[in-house]
Chain A
Amino acid sequence: MSTAVYERIRKNPKFDELVAKRSRFAWTLTAVVLGIYFIFIMIVAFKPKLLATPIWEGGTASIAWPIGAGMILLFWLLTGLYIRRANSEFDDINSEIIKGAIE
């Protein structure tokens, strides 16, 4: 809890490395999710007919449904991707930094 330990962590170059890597990864994933989502909302608002395209020629079911489900699935997989890297790479650097600071 002491400021001295925080100070030591802050001075560790690995801390900057961790923050930079993690931030870049997290914001990239956020940008992907928000980007896809807002493109989708814009299509809904301005070009709704596009989503009415049938999946199979001459069929009824529109591509809107699999696109929606695909977005839900993709976003979930992206959270999984984040966890995978966070649990291994980021957590490893993190515990190293803390260990170095309290010794």
Chain B
Amino acid sequence: MNRGMLKFAAVALALSWMGLAMAAPDVGQAQKQPLNVHAIVMFFIFVMATLGITYWAAKRTKTASDYYSAGGGITGTQNGLAIAGDYMSAATLLGLTSMTYFQGFDGYIYCICFYVGWPFIMFIMAERLRNLGKFTFADITSYRLDQRRVRTVAAIGSLTVVVFYLIAQMVGAGQLIKLLFGMEYWMAVVIVGVLMVIYVTFGGMIATTWVQIIKACLLLGGGTLVMLLAFSQFGFSLETLATKAVENSKKGMALMAPGAFLSDPVTAVSLSLGLMFGTAGLPHILMRFFTVPNAKEARKSVFVATLCVGFFFTAVAIMGLAAITLVGMNPQYFEGGELGSKLLGGNNMPAMHLAHAVGGNMMLGFLSAVAFATILAVVAGLALAGASAISHDLYANVIRQGQATEADEVRVSKRSSLVLGVIAVLLGIVFEKQNVAFMVGLAFGVAASCNFPVLILSMYWKGLTTRGAIWGSIAGLVSAVLIVVLSKAVWVVVLGNEKPIFPYEQPALFSMPLAFFMAWLGSVTDTSVRAAREKEAFEDQYVRAQTGFGAAGAAAH
């Protein structure tokens, strides 16, 4: 224990030194933005605060349950904020503001697609997740099925989602920090990787949750402030805001209606399916349901998270509309100071320029620091989910077949998070020059096709057997990945081929039904003795899912 603390102090010290070194002025790099002192100071404060929390959390992390699920001791409101934090990445802030800036209402449609998974999770999943789960969602899918095989495919599904999502976040972090802080790309990626590993290995779920909560509050607060300042310049009138935006945008009235972005119905439906059910299959989100003490708090978490996410998306849409006038009409935000040329720093910058336009360098620095903090928190959540899939599912239950001690399991998890950190940094550097926009889509596609169908069937359908679960997961995983690889985003844009082999970019409409079908087919044709026993075991699982009796952490009642 003491050695752990010492190690922690050493790493924290080394890191703060790195931070100081980083604050030294960096001259002579024309491409990067000038060093942003406000942002660095504020980010430094955030890092120190979160490291303090990690230290505090490390002292409270004694058992495997503390490590994976904060001992079930997080309240509904806290967990709701943390879920919202997990869900709102820097891509949400920058990408969706930018989408509204360029495309108008299409940006808000995208927000609504992202949002609508939440009520569904509330009505259909939240309570059952809490009542059946322990540390990972594979605890639920393998509840009455073959532990080894079902957990193996669930872990593969989780890790696939985590790695794709991590790459997207890492590359985003590197680019963003290079731009906002005036720092080298690789340095930014390394800092994110190191901090992520520290939070997860030392502080486990307790630290990850609190980092997430702080970040969620900062992001909500910062976003709201910029939105209010911007909106006030239009007298808080939607009509004035819209009129000005239409006047000042090349797109004109097209801003006010759905445009080309969703003009293809197949893509529209497939995208919305993927976003909606993908949310319900993201391992780092699902894990959050096991950190609260009971089903009641699980419900409250979703209620709070839904409010935060919905409010934030709306604020982001208003920011995008306001930026059309406040940023789009100000030559200082364009390359060469010329209106209509490229936006300084690229197309993802309207939110940042807007912060500068309404609050000067101070506000820009604040929002930059918030964006960086956001990335850190999201990667920490992802790393913990990935490490848990390795240690709890693969190591403890597949390799050691439930014979591993808690201490062993946690040790493996900490090592796994270190390995994941190294992989994430390396991949982040490898993919620097690549367009990784498709990776988040891929992560959601795999979550919706590989994780979600088997999870929901295991909770609702008595007939699901081990064979069905495995067929369903593999069919969903393979088809989702294959469709994305053969679509334009990878086949043409990344691999440089001339024509995509598969015409649609969004996999969910095709891969999700396939996964359900294969899970059904594999189950109904399974006449083994084991299958009969698995179906019988549904009864007990059903009672526990409904009443919460026997659920982990609820024993204190």
Contacts and interface: CB of A to CB of B under 8 A. Distances in A.
Nearest to B106: A44
A39 interface: no
Interface in A1-45: 1, 3, 5-6, 9-10, 15, 18-19, 22, 26-27, 29-30, 33-34, 37, 40-42, 44-45
Interface string B310-328: 1001100100000000000
B112 interface: yes
Nearest to A72: B310
Given A62-B105, A65-B105, A9 B547 contact: yes
A40 B317 CA distance: 18
Q: Say what secondary structure dominates the interface of chain B.
A: helix
Given A29-B123, A79-B122, A87-B299, A69 B314 contact: yes
Interface in B524-557: 539-540, 543-544, 546-550
Contact of A76 (B123, B257, B299, B310): B310
B243 A51 contact: no
A60 B239 contact: yes
Contact of B258 (A51, A61, A71): A51
Contact of A71 (B112, B302, B303, B549): B112
Contact of A91 (B253, B296, B310): B296
A97 B546 CA distance: 11
B313 A52 contact: no
Interface stretch (B210-218, B265-273, B329-337): B265-273
Contact of B119 (A41, A46, A68, A75): A75
Interface string A64-103: 1110110111011011101100110001001001100100
A75 B116 contact: yes
B265 A46 contact: yes
A48 B303 contact: no
Contacts of A54: 256
A42 B142 CA distance: 37
B119 A64 contact: no
Contact of B238 (A44, A46, A61): A61
A22 B126 CA distance: 13
Given A68-B109, A68-B112, A61 B243 contact: yes
A27 B123 CA distance: 7
Contacts of A68: 105, 108-109, 111-112, 317
A5 B242 contact: no
Contacts of A86: 127, 296, 299
Contacts of B123: 26-27, 29-30, 33, 79, 82
B105 A64 contact: yes
B35 interface: no
Interface in B107-165: 108-109, 111-113, 115-116, 118-120, 122-124, 127
A96 to B, nearest CB: 10
Q: Say what secondary structure dominates the interface of chain A.
A: helix
A74 to B, nearest CB: 9
A92 B373 CA distance: 42
Interface residues of B, number: 54
Contact of A72 (B115, B258, B264): B115
Contacts of B243: 59-61
B481 interface: no
B304 to A, nearest CB: 10
A98 B299 CA distance: 20
B258 A64 contact: yes
B239 A61 contact: yes
B306 interface: yes
A56 B239 contact: yes
A31 to B, nearest CB: 10
B356 interface: no
Interface of A: 1, 3, 5-6, 9-10, 15, 18-19, 22, 26-27, 29-30, 33-34, 37, 40-42, 44-46, 48-49, 51-52, 54-56, 59-62, 64-66, 68-69, 71-73, 75-76, 78-80, 82-83, 86-87, 91, 94, 97-98, 101
Report the 9 A-B pairs with minimum CB-CB distance, sorted nearest first. Answer: A52-B257, A61-B242, A62-B256, A45-B265, A48-B258, A72-B310, A26-B123, A60-B243, A44-B258
Interface of B: 105, 108-109, 111-113, 115-116, 118-120, 122-124, 127, 238-239, 241-243, 246, 253, 256-259, 262-265, 268-269, 272, 276, 296, 299-300, 302-303, 306-307, 310, 313-314, 317, 539-540, 543-544, 546-550
16 contacts: A3-B540, A10-B539, A19-B546, A22-B546, A30-B119, A33-B116, A33-B120, A41-B272, A44-B268, A51-B105, A52-B253, A62-B105, A62-B242, A76-B303, A79-B306, A97-B547
